[in-house]
A and B are shown apart, each in its own frame.
Chain A
């Protein structure tokens, strides 16, 4: 179920999502343990699998600002979280699309921790409050990458096509 597991404020930086001192850990298979490492309680919940896949992290405006570190995306993807926010910083959103992290831009979203959300075509229904909020489509430039299942698969496809026609 898509329950809001945590509600965060505006300008949550990638330093908060994945602190710099763990940046030597790079492989997507190894980054999940450090998700929100300085928010000890939440990090413990994630590490001990108390957060079901598909749970929602509700961010504020400019979610994922700061460093381009991709670990900030792979760490959330590893826990199969869905990130809903009124807006995202550019590099974070792009990294999310590239790696297949589910990011949902919802400018008017109003929800509290514990609320259950339902994602439908073009909107979010907050089942707890009964209110509906429109979803902003992801950048159209990136749709082909989403459709291909991420940037690695997309690039591979392009390379293979290119070499076949060369």
Chain B
């Protein structure tokens, strides 16, 4: 019986000739990522060793990555002290892939891993962040875990007792209309599947639309697969994956691709034609409350947010800059831009996008998770509405339970910034 990508990766990592959905395995981890919550992982890791006479040493520090992004620069003495504790720990343990708060090599974890070539097709990647699903864009099996689970990974180098997920195959064809793209596609799919429709399952993305999509776009759809509950979202690696790793991530040497068997068994197959797809929007307060933008056009917006691990890459900023060039952000709204990494920030600066945003009246912030989760900047006031290219709109997400968040593509966000109300970027769009 053939295997899906998830099954192939888990079989290889578990040292088994084959596995099938429902099997329980203990895969070896190729990359283990944490951000500020490494502070909790360290606490749990040290606790594992308590009462033993063993030295608390990470199983393989070269396979561990720690990236500060959630609260950068620190918003409080508490965060700064936690970051200090993590910094000292990673230095003592010689953690290989540490990215501190820096303008050159810093940024959001889900951009830092791909742009540095840390993730490859066939890898098992775990991260103490639910959006670790992002890395399926490079053909990895990547999933989010809790801090205690990570402490166990640091100690053993494996993830204990993983149930092999069944896979939903999503096959996509058609050419996107102008200003419609990967974000609209994934929002549409989440609306169809619902917030729990892929719980405990993997999603494998196929079809000509995916094959011709850039890695940047694939990162958007894998990033948000978790919003349908998926354990992992996977785009099987191909020529584009190899191109990205070589040209953009500086990877040298052979790049291999794990692809599903022709007779792989899928739980369900979903087919989507994007050629008629309009811009989509997720309405408060769940990510699966998805409608065409036209259904809520004219809604007044006090804050526009463009950036994040979902839509803070160069092509996202390019689209927003194209729409905003020579225009002004409405006086009734404020616009925040936060690129996904220092590298992207520098590229956007060189291409003039940053200047375009500033001239339009947007505030360009440092790379990081920023306002997405309402931790330390860009909080909303009572009764305010945000339109954001981020990935979550749960009640209170942007720091205030008495506010609301809509989720959309960079094109919709930029077009809406100019008008101060939710607006479709395409003239005459329904």
Contact = CB atoms under 8 A, between A and B. Distances in A.
A11 interface: yes
B375 interface: yes
B14 interface: no
Interface of A: 11, 13, 15-16, 19-21, 23-27, 38, 61-62, 65-71, 73, 87, 89-91, 94-95, 98-99, 139-142, 144-145, 150-152, 154-156, 158-160, 162-163
Interface in B391-429: 392, 394-397, 399, 401
A87 B199 contact: yes
Ranked nearest first, the 4 interchain pairs of A and B with the lowest CB-CB distance are A95-B146, A20-B373, A62-B196, A38-B401
B145 A155 contact: no
Interface in B30-54: 36-37, 39-40, 43-44, 47-52, 54
A68 B395 CA distance: 17
Contact of A90 (B51, B75, B195, B229): B229
Q: Residue among B156, B286, B376, B394 with the most chain A CB within 10 A?
A: B394
Interface string B140-164: 0000111111011001100011110
Contacts of B49: 156, 159
Contacts, number: 158
A152 B148 contact: yes
Interface of B: 24, 36-37, 39-40, 43-44, 47-52, 54, 70-71, 75-76, 78-79, 82, 128-130, 144-149, 151-152, 155-156, 160-163, 195-196, 199-200, 229, 231, 286, 288, 373-376, 392, 394-397, 399, 401
B149 A95 contact: yes
Contacts of A65: 195-196, 229
Q: Is the interface of B mostly helix, strand, loop or mixed?
A: loop
A27 B149 contact: no
A38 B152 CA distance: 32
A111 to B, nearest CB: 21
B47 A61 contact: no
Contacts of A16: 394-396
Given A38-B401, A67-B373, A62 B199 contact: yes
Contacts of A11: 195-196, 286, 288
Contacts of B288: 11
Contact of A27 (B24, B43, B399): B43
Given A68-B128, A152-B47, A159-B156, 11 more contacts: A13-B394, A16-B395, A19-B399, A65-B196, A89-B196, A94-B149, A99-B146, A99-B148, A152-B152, A154-B152, A155-B152
Contacts of A68: 128-130, 144-146
Contacts of A155: 48, 151-152, 155-156, 160
11 contacts: A11-B288, A19-B374, A24-B36, A68-B146, A89-B229, A90-B200, A94-B145, A154-B152, A155-B152, A156-B48, A156-B49
Contacts of B50: 156
Q: Is the interface of A mostly helix, strand, loop or mixed?
A: helix
B155 A26 contact: no
B161 A141 contact: yes
A20 B146 contact: no
B287 to A, nearest CB: 9
Contacts of A61: 196
B82 A24 contact: yes
Given A11-B286, A20-B373, A69 B37 contact: yes
A155 to B, nearest CB: 4
Contacts of A25: 78
B54 A20 contact: no
B384 to A, nearest CB: 15
B78 A24 contact: yes
A87 B195 CA distance: 12
Contacts of A20: 373-375, 396-397, 399
Contacts of A67: 129-130, 373, 392
A14 to B, nearest CB: 8
B76 A70 contact: no
A98 B148 contact: yes
B375 A151 contact: no
Given A21-B399, A70-B146, A156 B52 contact: yes
Contacts of A89: 196, 199, 229
A73 B146 contact: yes
A70 B148 contact: yes
Contacts of A70: 37, 40, 146-148
Contacts of B128: 68
A83 to B, nearest CB: 15
A62 to B, nearest CB: 4
A73 B148 CA distance: 11
A144 B199 contact: no
Contact of B48 (A94, A140, A152, A162): A152
